[in-house]
Amino acid sequence: MNNYFSIDRIHWIYPILMSLIFSTSLQAISFSAEETQDTQKVLTLQQLAEVTLHNDPWLAGNQYTEESIKDLSISASTLPDPKVTLGLNNIAANSFNFSQEGMTSFSIGLSQNIPRGDSLALKKQQLELMGSQYPYQRLNRKALLILTSSKIWLEAYRAQQSIELIEQDRGLFKQLADVAQVSYSSTAGRTRQQDLIRAELELINLDDRLMQLKQKRDMALKKLLEWLSDYSVDQYNSRSLDATQLSLAKTLPDIKMLNSALYQSELPIKPEKLYPYLADHPAILSLEQKIKASEKGIELAKQKYKPEWGLNAAYGYRDHDLLGNTRSDLFSVGISFDLPFFTANRQDKQVKSAINQSESVKTEKWLAIRQLMAEFESTRYKLIRLNERRELFNNKLLPQTHIQAEASLTAYTNDAGDFAEVVRARIAELNASLEKLTIDVDRQQSIIELNYLFMKQPMNMIESAVAQGEK
């Protein structure tokens, strides 16, 4: 009886399982074809970076600010405009007769102030140093844009590929539910009602996971539209551009690691070894220029101890006297300067203020260095653990879950296993595949985060290792 039961069960289960595998493959192909057909714009990580850098209005605004500072530096190095004075001097008040008094004259004068010491040259140099920050600020901004947009792209990719994995396995679980239904309805089967309910429940859970993943994918794609909304870009010039019009590349990028020698050991890296790498970061170089500008501010403040000079010259015209005799015209020349005697509450305080300002900027630099070092160490250890997990999944966990799933299905087919175990094994295999995808995506995100710390040019952050022959 048991032999007949097993043979009979195989007789009706085997064709269903074969059709299961075949139909699941067809669904995967159909799903891929449908996605390709519906996709209007396939967005790669490289394309996203290029469009993001092209569309950012902050970069243009920063460029305008730099040009403004450059113009100010030229203006600051120029002497102040001379002053012209016109005067009617010492005219008789009783008659207002220009010829009555010998002291009466019409004068025209010219005066020129000369700023203190080297203040003009120093102010020009200070503004030039302030302007030299902006190229580094733009470089850092570009790197941050690529970092942010790339991480969002990878989140969308994770959701997109997870959806594809679940869609492929959903057909398998649907077929398992059909097998359970047939077995439950057959007198030869021994499937229990709870097995049928379990299969249907797993389908519902998969549908829920699909909806959650689609929500995450759509939200990530919507965020990407922030950088894809420049209508001057030909391939993204539609004002009705929507997340549904975008699809991501199917292949996960393999990003080249910059300064890969720093990741060969798990031991902490000494700050003095790491500092030369981070000192060339655009954010740090920008602060260096800011420090130099503040140091020029100290020199500029010290010029207040020097006098401000003034030169003046005047020519006075006198009319003939009442008898018709000519009078000599008058010419005057003079010099003026201030005396900085009361320096304790003015010049001394101005210099001290400039020194404090410079020291404040230096603390900004060291704070930024510490933040970059901490970010490096935390992300480096995260990457090390991700690499370990990746190796574990590739070499052990994924093969074992697949073997377990196949073994449980074979055992159930041969009337030696439980239906619930088949479902659990398939769910475990699916979860392992999804977790492996998460590890791969997290790994690429970590590499981009580390590349941000060492990049010379922003696009180096997402440079493919395949193109470099390192894969």
What are the tens digits of pLDDT across the range 36-81?
444 457 889 999 999 999 989 999 999 999 999 999 999 998 999 9
Phi then psi dihedrals of residue 300, to 5 deg: -65, -40
pLDDT at 244: 64
β pairing state of 309-317 and 105-114:
antiparallel
pLDDT of residue 9: 45
Whether the per-residue pLDDT at 160 is higher than 80: the answer is yes
What was the pLDDT predicted at 186? 65
- 122-147 pLDDT, tens digit per residue, is 999 999 999 999 999 999 999 999 99
pLDDT value of residue 30: 42
Contact in structure between 332 and 311 (CB atoms under 8 Å): no
Of 418 and 52, the structure prediction assigns the larger pLDDT to 52
| Residues β-bridged to residue 43 | 248
- Indicate the Cα dihedral angle 320, 323, 325, 326, nearest 10°: 0
Pick the residue with more confidence: 2 or 373?
A: 373
Determine the residue type at 373: M
| Paired strand residues for 246 | 41
Examine the pLDDT at 14 and tell me if it is beyond 50.
no
Out of 74-78, 212-216, 288-292, 321-325, least confident range: 321-325
Q: How confident is the model at residue 367 (pLDDT cuts 50, 70, 90)?
A: very high
Q: What is the mean pLDDT of residues 397-421?
A: 85
Instruction: Give the per-residue pLDDT at 354.
Output: 94
Ranges of each domain in the chain:
2-462
Q: Please say if the pLDDT value at position 98 is more than 70.
A: yes
**Better-scored residue on pLDDT, 138 or 4:** 138
User: Is residue 191 pLDDT above 70, yes or no?
Assistant: no
Q: For tokens 């420049």, what's the residue?
A: 230
296-337 tens-digit pLDDT: 999 999 999 999 999 999 999 988 877 778 888 889 999 999
CA neighbours within 13 Å on the CB side: how many for 369?
20
Looking at domain 2-462, its CATH architecture is Up-down Bundle (1.20)
**Hey, what are 55's tokens?**
């569309």
Residue from 252, 244, 240 nearest 221 by CA:
244
Please state, rounded to an integer, the average pLDDT across all residues of the chain. 84
* pLDDT tens digit sequence for 220-271: 999 988 888 765 444 444 444 565 677 888 899 999 999 888 887 778 888 8
Percent of the chain with pLDDT over 90: 54
**How much is the pLDDT for 127?**
95
> What is the mean pLDDT of the segment spanning 347-369?
94
